[in-house]
Structure 1
Amino acid sequence: MTENTGAFPADPADAAPAAGAPAVPPLTAEGVLEALDPEQREAARTFGGPLCVLAGAGTGKTRTITHRIAYGVMTGQLNPRHVLAVTFTAKAAAEMRSRLRDLGVPAVQARTFHAAALRQLRHFWPRVIGGGAPEIMPNKIAGVAEACQRLHMSVDRAALRDIVSEVEWSRVSMLTPESYPEAAAQARRPGVAGFDSRSIARILTQYEEVKKERGVIDFEDVLLHMVGFLTERPDIAREIRGQYRHFVVDEYQDVSALQHALLRLWLGPSTDLCVVGDAAQTIYTFAGARASYLLDFPREFRGASTIRLERNYRSTPQIVRLANTVLDGAQGRTKAHRLTLVSQRPAGPAPVIESYADDMAEAEGVAERIQEQIREGRTAADMAVLFRTNSQSEAVEQALTARGIGYLVRGGDRFFERQEVRRALLALRAASRVEHGDAARAVRDVVSALGWSEKAPETTGAVRERWDSLNALVHLTGTILARPGAGLVDVVRELEERAESQSAPVVDGVTLASIHAAKGLEWPSVFVIGASDGLLPISMAQTPAEVEEERRLFYVALTRARDLLTISWSAARTPGSRGSRKPSRFLDGVLEQRGSGARTGPAASSPRRTGRRSATVFSECRTCGAQLTTDAEQRLGRHSGCAPSHGESVLDALRLWRRQRSSQLGVPAYSVFTDATLGALAERAPSTAEEMAQIPGIGPLKVQRHGEEVLAILAGFAAAAPAESASPQVKK
């Protein structure tokens, strides 16, 4: 057994196997390497000095980190009890611990910066300060609100959130109230909630007084206190450096000045540090992140090795190519240090770029696409709608609700921090102390009392979000109780473990999320809405550096998609308004590759070109001549209630062909052609490849793959047109 010479005891949770986990055959060192590609393998075998791994989106950075640690332990180059792996979220840390356990190295500690520092702070506080460590404020809202009140400043909740964000930026930038105004000016920080920098400095001073009087500290204080302890107490620094000798830091592009200072103090004179990051995914500079620590790593740590991971395992070549094109237009350090991704997956459908008349039409169009994909076999949980600002969510929520499609709004409170979830957990904990014959019924009684019902509410906003949260709990508890012998005690234990690791249950609904909230996540199908100048980049981005951060944000959104990617924008905000918006400048390179016609917004004439694969859509019904209002009808060329120009047997033949073709290719039917595209094929009956390419949903690649067979089917029905015309028609 490896001796633990650390200054404070290891956490038993770090070494404990997951409850009920099956025994895993021990891996050999070479077996660990076999699971890696050449560049990942090089990173896993590099020890003896500082290492910088530049890992692009979807390139398997977590796999690389965990396999490197496992290989180092198995070959004796790392002592598992002297390794500290640091990441930025509790969920990521839990995932890392789980993977390390699976690799046979459970003793390695994987924590967030705050969790690691808090554990150290609680251990050393009695020795340095005396007594127990103070309580941590659950959030800053109340403390900052009291500080404003003492200064007779009137602020609403929205302004309060902005001030809290500025307080956090000042703390992670290691500023004092006195140094804040000058630093804010140099960083071009805008005025916050109508207050200038000197007013914010006064709030900072008063906020410190509030904490002092309450005897509490916040999360930034945890790091600041540890920086102080390590700086002023050489004995404590020696103990911590004796405990932790090998450091791994994930998402290094997101490190703040405060986190960097703490890391350097943890290291001391050592250079045994491996960092992993991607400068192109730096999207939190407004919160204090500094990509310069990643980009300047070889300068800060002389003799550092740098390894680039560019093999993308997440997205299809078509999605990766588009994302690379967006980065082609980058400027400054983003361009100089960019990674060029190379997809390792088979070819898939080309990304779709669509334009709409207004935001409402865009929301309706996206909801319709989602409904099509659900009909074709995808689950709602397979899809996400990403946007720049939270206000863009409402129209999509309404459009999904109108179609009976569930959704989950991500980016607000964490799942286990939501009021209804906390109340449910408290009630379940109380119920677990009482004997229940039917645990499932007891769970339903608890959540029903909090507003849950069997049927989803036909509304949007907070009511629907609360129901979705409680419904997710119902399904999760059902899964737990399905295990042999499981009861309410088991339910509560697992919920508490999930709350600690922020492992939220999967809600069976479409994810609606800001791009910032989507970082680190992925979905088979992603819709990026609002891709117009003013939203992407946001109108507030004025300087070149701010615009570049917006480009990186767009890049992050695109690389969340695995199989299907749809990008859309609208010409106007409200129906009937003048369409003055233009496609995002970040799409310039993409649109140029697809033809200059893609630069224009939707016109009023019939038919019109959207620029999306040079597809033709219609504004008037070819049957009745009236205006077409929905995107699906505009693609089809007629109202859904008007008689089609084809018989049902044409559509049946196309569906049969699609089913056979998808079976041959081993792909879902919708990835061959969607129902809407089959309907348009039957309706328009193209006779040439050029005519076929004019149909929305069909690009050159699909014409090349399927055109000959589809045109043959349609030609056969065209030759039998007299007989076909005798078939029953749908009446208006």
Structure 2
Amino acid sequence: MQAQLPGAQPLPSDVTRHGDADAVLAGLDPEQRAVATALSGPVCVLAGAGTGKTRAITHRIAYGVRSGVMQPQRVLAVTFTARAAGEMRGRLRQLGAEGVQARTFHSAALRQLQYFWPRVVGGELPRLVERKIQLVAEAAARCRLRVERTELRDLTGEIEWAKVTQTVPEDYPAAVRKAGREAPRDPAEIRQVYKVYEELKRDRGVIDFEDVLLLAVGVLEDRAEVADQVRAQYQHFVVDEYQDVSPLQQRLLDLWLGPRSSLCVVGDASQTIYSFTGATPSYLLDFRLKHPDATVVKLVRDYRSTPQVVHLANGLLAQARGQAAQHRLELVSQREPGPDPAYTEYQDEPTEAEGTAKRIQALLSSGVRASEIAVLFRTNGQSAVYEQALADLGIAYQLKGAERFFERREVGNAVTLLRGAARGSSDPMLDQAPEGLAGQVRAVLSTEGFSVQPPAGGGAVRERWESLAALVRLAEEFEAGQRAAGLPAGLAAYVAELGARAAAQHAPVVEGVTLASLHSAKGLEWDAVFLVGLTEGMLPITYAKTDEQIEEERRLLYVGVTRARAWLTLSWALSRSPGGRASRRPSRFLDGLRPGSSTPGRGVGGGSRSTGAGAGSAVGGRSRAKAPLKCRVCDRVLTEAVERKLRRCESCPSHMDEGLYERLRDWRGGQAKAQSLPAYCVFTDATLVAIAEDAPGSVAELAGIAGVGRAKLDKYGSAVLSLCRGESPADSDPGESDDIPDDWDEHGVPENSLEK
């Protein structure tokens, strides 16, 4: 019998032991259900922010397990953060899919290396360096370079980028030039530091985080028997946040998969914000080229945010450029209307922080929980002024990226006490505790100094209380969930739940306003979000020079906007300090969106102004942000270019005039032959179908069809309208179009409509 990799569990005797598989599908919308039931790969899920992608893929795995198509220990789900992997494991456990491995790329690769290394190389796997920055500092010193502490972080980042893009030291300068990357120092110097850093690791017998992936790739490529065993163990793969994979991670994934196609990837190109680490959306965008037979499902129903927030998010992306922008998803909110986004300009940064803190205080007074409020900024260095402003008002806060919840001392002590109380049923504390699980937990934690009322002030004492309070709230939620499911909610069951959560790093919510950078906010959401410091030079950041770098900054703001469920505030300050020169300008990304701003591409006075908070924006001063285009048959939001041309789903019934379509095809063939052009250069098939379905009777109606722009109206408009009237196009001059207004642009949109 073949040995199982670490973390795998024996096969259950009955994979459908948790009940009817179809029960897993209850509550899913049609698109989520399509994901869950697409059990044969390859599958590509294009999922917009807030559309329930984690719900869709976890239900897919659970449905596959319950229906017997997938064996749980044969499934490997991969994501990018330990927190996301922990959340996925927690959901799978609740859905009855225990045994499924949900890990980060590095975690999965490390476990495989630890298992195979003694067999294929011999001895123990080299020690993993936790903080490579010290080795980078030593390497720089050996190269006789004077490097400031802040520069060390940049050097370390460059080495990490080089390794995940599979660039060796000798090739680093050329790779930087090719990528259009702005190196923090002379590339030749970084090449030398990189080379010495690798030599130091080799001499000391240690490896770094990126080596884990490189070594895993090397073992799988060099040892066929290892690759065969991994492929025998894991037969179904799911990759979340696929837009963030690096070339090295994709290489490892390909080796795991082998010649099989049981792969489901999930991502959103509009949320690609980690290219500086080597991440690229190209694998997501080109997935259908690599897998022509792939099932593609788009999730655009936004369950997170109000229509006002979603409208702003869509308007922000409507201005975008580049490959990712061409594949953007137009979200459709499923929530009731809420407040408009608020835009606030302040004289200086301290005033902006104070104003933000006062607005947060007002939200708290209205009943919004502190844990449901976040302040998001571009760089971590911006947090200090907001920490001070919140502290001045006595508002508790937490910095994103702090110590893990279950690793905190007070949490460890509390869990130990709860475990002991669960074992000793005659514990006097439990005898005196109020009825119910939450009451028992409060009684046990009272020995650690927990009280129902929080302590005055902030600091370490308040943070400790917040940790214990989070355990109490979790007990309340656990008790309610167990009772609803008809299951016991005793202290022993709760302690077991804490153990499972600790193993999965699935921490409960700690009460306190979150302060976080936009990058670290990815994957999170709050009721109220404050996006602060939105000025030129900060967002986009000063060092974003190329078009693609600017577009990534725009996507970063999009991620920030889509973190908000209901309340969204965007603010900026005209100067850094009180009394300073008011020389700053609001971020260009807000042009055409915030009240009183001009649309991009038209300076102030160009006549194109937004009409209010969250108003639609013009793109380059030429086209307007439109409402989501829906199928005229089934009312589904259309996202594919062909469907948007037809104004219906390709699968929905057509009411096309077949005779008109054939006349249009014959006419197009003659035009193409006369001009020595491919037929599609005259009109594409989809455009002919759209014309034949609508049979336009005027220039305005013809121009309203996607694919019929100004140039084609000029050249073919009269002939097409003649064909639609049943006349011969020979009766009119193909180049004659005196009835076509001069103010229609190439998209068929009147230019002066932007002034209205």
CA distance in 1, matches of 2:161, 2:500: 30
Q: Does 1:103 align with 2:95?
A: yes
Q: How does 1:575-594 map to 2 (within 5 A)?
A: 575-591=578-594, 594=595
| Aligned match for 2:576, one of 558, 573, 583 | 573
TM-fit CA distance, 1:31: 2.1
Structural mapping, 1:437-448, within 5 Å: none
TM-score, scaled to structure 2: 0.69
Structure 1 position 74, deviation (Å): 2.9
Structure 1 residue 470 and structure 2 residue 464: aligned?
yes
Give distance in 1, aligned partners of 2:234 and 2:301: 32
CA distance in 1, matches of 2:170, 2:212: 21
Give the conservation status (yes or no) of the 8 Å contact 1:366–1:527: yes
Q: 1:48 to 1:375 in 2, by over 3 A?
A: closer
Q: Secondary structure at the match of 1:199?
A: helix
Distance 1:208 1:531, change over 3 A: same
Which of 119, 124, 134 is equivalent to 2:116?
124
CA shift at 1:229, angstroms? 0.7
Tell me, yes or no, if structure 1 residue 8 matches structure 2 residue 5. Answer: yes
- Aligned 8 A contact 1:6 1:242 in 2: no
Query: Distance in 2 between the 1:74 and 1:427 partners?
Result: 36
Which residue of the partner structure matches residue 60 of structure 2? 68
Q: Say yes or no: does 1:371 pair with 2:351.
A: no
Which among 74, 80, 86 is matched to residue 72 of structure 2?
A: 80
**Structure 1 position 507, deviation (Å):** 2.7
Report deviation, 1:425.
Answer: 5.0
1:454 CA drift (Å): 7.8
Instruction: Give the CA deviation at 1:159.
Output: 2.1
**Partner residue, 2:620:** none
Question: In 1, Cα distance between the equivalents of 2:464 and 2:145?
Answer: 38
Given the alignment, which residue of 241, 244, 265 partners 1:251?
Answer: 241
* TM-score, structure 1 normalization: 0.72
Equivalent-residue separation in structure 1 for 2:414 and 2:147 (angstroms) = 35
CA distance in structure 2 between the partners assigned to 1:432 and 1:71 by the alignment: 34
On the 8 A contact 2:90/2:504 being kept in 1, the answer is no
Aligned-pair distance for 1:212?
Answer: 2.5
Q: Which residue of structure 1 lines up, in the alignment, with residue 638 of structure 2?
A: none
TM-superposed deviation, 1:216: 2.1
Provide the secondary structure at the position in 2 that maps to 1:571: strand
Deviation at 1:422, TM superposition (A): 6.2
In structure 1, distance between residues paired with 2:61 and 2:472: 36
Per the alignment, residue 541 of structure 2 pairs with 538
Alignment-derived partner of residue 39 in structure 1: 31
Structure 1 residue 311 displacement after superposition: 0.4
Identical-pair percentage: 51
8 Å Cα contact 1:472-1:506 kept in structure 2 = no
Q: Is the 8 A contact 1:7 1:242 kept in 2?
A: no
How far does the alpha carbon of each residue in 1:128-173 deviate from its partner, in whole angstroms, 9 at most, with x for none? 1101222222232232233233334333432222222222111111
SS at match of 1:247: strand
Equivalent residue number for residue 311 of structure 1: 301
Q: Note if contact 2:591-2:598 (Cα within 8 Å) is conserved in structure 1.
A: no
Q: Specify the alignment match of 1:158 in structure 2.
A: 150
Specify which of 555, 560, 582 is matched with residue 557 of structure 1.
560
1:249: how far off? 0.4
Question: How far 1:535 sits from its partner (Å)?
Answer: 1.4
- Paired residues for 1:447-462 under 5 Å: 455=455
Tell me: CA distance 1:98–1:415, structure 2 relative to 1, closer, same or farther (3 Å).
closer
Q: Does 1:226 align with 2:226?
A: no
Distance 1:477 1:328, change over 3 A: closer
Q: Assess if the C-alpha contact under 8 Å between 2:269 and 2:281 holds in 1.
A: yes
User: Which amino acid is 1:79 matched to?
Assistant: Q
Unaligned runs of 5+ in 2: 430-440, 480-488, 601-609, 615-756
CA-to-partner distance for each residue in 1:335-362, whole Å, 9 max, x for gaps?
2100000001111111111111111211
Look up the SS of the partner of 1:520 in the other structure: coil
Aligned partner of residue 386 in structure 1, secondary structure: strand
Shift in alpha-carbon separation, 1:223–1:568, aligned structure 2, 3 A: same
Q: Sort the Cα spacing of 1:428 and 1:565 in 2 relative to 1 into closer, same or farther, 3 A.
A: closer
Q: Tell me the equivalent position of 1:657.
A: none
Is 1:359 the counterpart of 2:344? The answer is no
Give, in whole Å, the separation in 1 of the partners of 2:10 and 2:456. 38
Is the CA contact 1:428–1:443 (under 8 Å) kept in the aligned structure 2? no
Aligned residues: 575
1:515 is the counterpart of 2:518: yes
Q: Which runs of 5+ in 1 are unaligned?
A: 16-23, 459-463, 600-609, 615-732
Counterpart of 1:315, as a letter, is S
Q: Residues 450-471 of structure 1: CA distance to partner in whole angstroms, max 9, x if unpaired?
A: xxx985666xxxxx4x555534
**Residue type of the alignment partner of 1:557:** G
Q: 1:506 aligns with which of 506, 509, 524?
A: 509
Superposition deviation, residue 498 in structure 1: 5.1
DSSP-derived class of the 1:517 partner: coil
- Whole-angstrom distance in 1 between the partners of 2:226 and 2:292: 27
RMSD of Structure 2 on Structure 1 (CA): 3.6
The answer (yes or no) to whether the contact 2:17–2:66 under 8 Å persists in 1 is no
CA distance in 1, matches of 2:339, 2:573: 23
Q: Quick check: 1:27–1:104 contact (8 Å CA) kept in 2?
A: no
Aligned to 1:643: none
